[in-house]
Amino acid sequence: MDIYSIFTLIGGLAFFLYGISIMSQGLEKIAGGKLEQLLKKMTSNPFKSFVMGAGITAIIQSSSAVTVMLVGLVNSGIMNLSQTVSVIMGANIGTTITAWILSLTAIQESAGWFFKLLKPESFSPILAFIGICMIMMSKSNRRKNAGSVLIGFAILMTGMVFMSESMAPLSDIPQFRNMMTAFSNPILGLVAGIVITMIIQSSSASVGILQALSLNGSVTWAAAIPIILGQNIGTCISAILASIGVTTNAKRVAGVHIIFNILGVCIFLPVLLFVQYFLHLKFLSTNINPFGIAVFHSIFNVVAAFILFPFSKVIEKLAIKYIPENINTSNKTVILDERLLLSPTVAISECYAKTIEMGELAQFNFINSAKMLKTFRERMAEEIEQNEINIDSYEDKLDSFLVKLSSKDLTEEDGNKVSQLILAIGEFERIGDHASNILKVAKKFNESEKKLSDEAIDELKTIVNAVEEIYYMAFEVYKSDNLELATKIEPLDAVIKKGVRRAKNNHIQRLKEGLCSIDTGFLYSDLLTDLRRISAHCSNISTSVIQLHDVKFVKHKYSHRNKDEDLEFKIKYQDYKSRYRVKKNTNK
């Protein structure tokens, strides 16, 4: 083996790892909303979580990525530890798919033209050509992502061929044969598998390297089995690195992964050695091929999962026992963990969930601030003020997270969702500010003996009721993505806008007549302005939902269209007007 073979090996490994990365990213983008839905279905049902874990890993082709994702989800409080145990077990099965794909390289040239076509080096150039055509010619992001998957697979297989060719001379070197014989020692093979996988941080890649090595007939079953077992332990390094600086429960996710994989090896290896001691299995001294590696890799992970699945609670308790509560991190509040950025689709989904929490706080503040105009309560005022601090914290952390998320390679659909999220966060924050302004006015009324006139109170009640309805509607539109309800918000906003304008004119008239004081007049005007702006923010939220579904939607044109020709708008406008009409002051 000369220096050029070493260069080829290094280049082949680079192609292989890069191909896996490109293919995984493309598969995740294609999964898009489906991956998001799968994650949302992860409940406390262990079997469902097990199936979801296997399915998601099969989709994105990386158990390490899934485990890192779980660390982020638990650290953010989105999932609990017990849910992750079964997911991790399923992920270990899902990750075996890559080995089966790579096992096709073992098809012999003499197998016939049909089977020769199944060899990856036969069809991967065609896939690469199709993939590049899809990327260059297609306008659909979904097709472009599919093209990336094909390109990634072709690069991966090219790397596999390079590695195999560079390793071919090794089978004739006595020292190499002696080294592979040494790996037949279970301890040495186990350590080798652990170290190699820890270095490249991917069990799929390390299994692929072993498959490339086996193509030359220089690896026996006895050497391959301990290495494969070690690879399953070595892959835990990604979860260990991801758990640095997180909450105790998030650290325990990595602990679950380590405990499960070590227990699987501790069960499987002694049983195999025991059987070998008494039965002297002859096949262990024969050469293994890529297909055999894929078979054993799958058998080990499936058997380990099904043996340990009934003991998932025990594994969870072991993780809790060996990773005790850390006082410094147990009370650490985390809104969104940056590890979620590894999966933009999941990150966007959880940003929506946190934005809804933010919207609920804004809703609570507005509704209760309005009630304080009638009956002021000091304890409620303190709760509203604390909520406002929390709303500002949500805005700050969500905005920072979304800026980082927007720098990722997002699909057009995900990019539009990020834009909508940024807009919604700003709208909810401003609604919270206006609710705080209403509370300040309520405090001033409570601290002074001045009151509004009965007419002003009646007008205020009407407008507050209308704004409460538009907020409920806008919030429901945002939560449920309800397009039909979104179209009903603009007419109510128009009614509120007209009602506020009339209420201000009426108050000016009352000031002229001496029915209201100037001091209360300023406060009343401020209240109406805040209510009007809350309504406008609600309208912005609803139009952002419409725009998300229709990229050609232009808000300015929509707002300034000829509404007299819009029958549906007119009908809804008249309905809201009859319920929330502010009568014109006719006093002279």
Positions of the chain with pLDDT lower than 70, given as ranges: 1-2, 28, 31-44, 60-61, 76, 78, 106-120, 167-181, 326-335, 551-565, 585-588
Euclidean distance between CA atoms 395 and 390, whole angstroms: 9
Global pTM exceeds 0.85: no
pLDDT at 330: 46
- Give the whole-angstrom CA distance, residue 391 versus residue 77: 18
Q: What per-residue confidence (pLDDT) applies to 331? A: 46
At residue 518's C-alpha, the angle toward residues 513 and 521, to 5°, is: 90
What DSSP line would sit under 189-247, residue for residue?
A: HHHHHHHHHHHHT-HHHHHHHHHHHHTTT--BHHHHHHHHHHHHHHTTHHHHHHTTTS-
Q: Are 369 and 439 in contact (CB under 8 A)?
A: yes
What pLDDT shows up at residue 401?
92
> CA-CA distance, 253 to 265, in Å (whole number)?
19
Tokens of 67: 């485990």
Contact 60, 98 (CB under 8 A): no
Distance, CA of 465 to CA of 296 (rounded, Å): 67
Q: What's the pLDDT at 217?
A: 72
CA–CA distance, 1 with 177 (Å, rounded to integer): 13
**Predicted local confidence at residue 318, as pLDDT:** 92
Q: Pick from 340, 329, 313: which is nearest to 71 by CA?
A: 340
